Amino acid sequence: MALRNRAINLNVANQENVKNVKSMAIVSGQTRRAALGEIGNRVIVNRANELTGKTSQTAKDKVLQKKPVLSKQTQVKVDKLEKVVHKVQVQIIKPVVKAEIQVDNRPLPEANKNETDSNANKKETETSNEVKKEADSFSSDLITIEDIDEEDRKNPILVSVYSNDIYAHLRDLEMQFPVKKGYLQGQEVTPKMRCVLVDWLIEVHEQFHLMQETLYMTIAIIDRFLQDFRLITRKRLQLVGVTAMFIASKYEEMYSPDISDFVYITDNAYTKSEILQMEMIIIKTLEFSFGKPLPLHFLRRYSKAGKALPVHHTLAKYFLEQCLVHYEVCHHPPSLIAAGAIYLSFLLLGNDNLQEGDVIWTKTLVHYSTYRTKDVLPVVQEISAIMVNAEKSKYQAARRKYTNSKHMKISLRPELKSPTLVALVNHKN
């Protein structure tokens, strides 16, 4: 009976063991949290060790216990890193304690208060007076000097932003290319020959229907060349004038006349090859620089600053062309000759824009021309001397040109015979 009971007990125990094994297999297949899974594994392993009497390590513990085998170089680097890590020191930053500022809140005596208040009031009045003076001077400048480019701001073609800089540059250029007074002394070419040549070129310019700038540039090239190249003979002077106009027309005109036209205008006195040779000589002598400003450029600016009418502008152009012919005024800068021409035009014809008591040469003209009245008057007197003798002069090309209705018949105006011109000439003498 005992054996039978023992066998039954063993069977029951085996059945329980089989159930436990199945339950363990099911549990191991389920997903648990890592901590609980490790705890369960350790419990099972410990129980198995207790039954068998063996001590075993998990695979994880074996991996942790194993030390990696390193090479000598890597081991040296690891040792150095460990030393560096141990040497790192932590800096302790002490808090900064701000010192309290003690303020003296005691009241000042009444006498000191009054002095400080009076000093402050004086300073305020002085500064206010200075500001008022500056504002008054600034406003007075705005009233007297007008911005003549204000109406052109909306037109980008007129480049009104750069107008003042452009004319300042032109004034610098006219100083770089001066014409000396009496430069024909010691040459075979005389002042009278020059006057005859320029008078003839005015007629040629009119026959070719060229631009106004072409004529002024032609005379500028002739003066500069005769000043530097002092070997021109009397027979070749006309060749110089024709070649100068040939160069100027190529510089200024859109469609310049052909070289054969210049040969024809000289009545075949010179050939094409001679004109081309002289062209090379002039260009090399002037060093390829033809940027000298013209009196016409400045005259347009002054007419705008002085609010000149077309009559004033045309009369001033007539004065300028008369000055081109005469050798006595060719040494003046173009800006100064233009200023004298427009001044004399305002003086003879009057200016409706001026009120009673106003000066002809206003502050606006002084600002934009950079010339004062005392600078302009000597040139005005020289132009007046030329105009008094215009009818009796041998050089009538400019006068005939301005008798045309295209130029308002300006050379026939009675103002050119007014006693004002005579008075200016007598005052000069």
Mean pLDDT of 219-235: 94
> Could you report the per-residue pLDDT of 149-174, keeping only the tens digit for each?
988 998 999 899 999 999 999 999 99
Whole-number Å distance between alpha carbons of 212 and 249: 10
The H-or-E segment that residue 381 falls in is: helix 373-388
Residue type at 399?
R
> Could you report the per-residue pLDDT of 182-208, keeping only the tens digit for each?
999 989 999 999 999 999 999 999 999
Task: Please indicate whether residue 185 or residue 115 has the higher confidence score (pLDDT).
Answer: 185
* Domains 178-285 and 295-428 are alike in CATH topology: yes
Tokens of 138: 């600034």
Mean pLDDT of 121-141: 51
Interior angle at CA 247, CA 242 and CA 251, nearest 5: 145
- What number of helices (H) and strands (E) belong to the chain? 18, 0
Q: Which of these ranges, 103-117, 154-168, 280-294, has the smallest mean pLDDT?
A: 103-117
Are the C-beta atoms of residues 214 and 205 closer than 8 Å to each other?
yes
Pick the CATH number of 178-285 from 2.102.10.10, 1.10.260.40, 3.20.20.70, 1.10.472.10: 1.10.472.10
pTM attached to this predicted model: 0.67
Interior angle at CA 202, CA 409 and CA 412, nearest 5: 20
Q: How far apart are the first and last CA of the chain?
A: 173
Short-list 141, 262, 165, 258, CA closest to 204: 262
> Could you report the per-residue pLDDT of 72-90, keeping only the tens digit for each?
666 766 676 666 545 444 4
Mean pLDDT of 227-248: 95
Whole-number Å distance between alpha carbons of 330 and 343: 18
Average pLDDT across the chain, whole number: 79
Mean pLDDT of 37-51: 49
Mean pLDDT of 351-366: 77
Task: Please indicate whether residue 335 or residue 424 has the higher confidence score (pLDDT).
Answer: 335
Report whether CATH 3.40.50.11890 matches the domain 295-428.
Answer: no
Q: Where are the domains of the chain?
A: 178-285, 295-428
Whole-number Å distance between alpha carbons of 1 and 4: 5
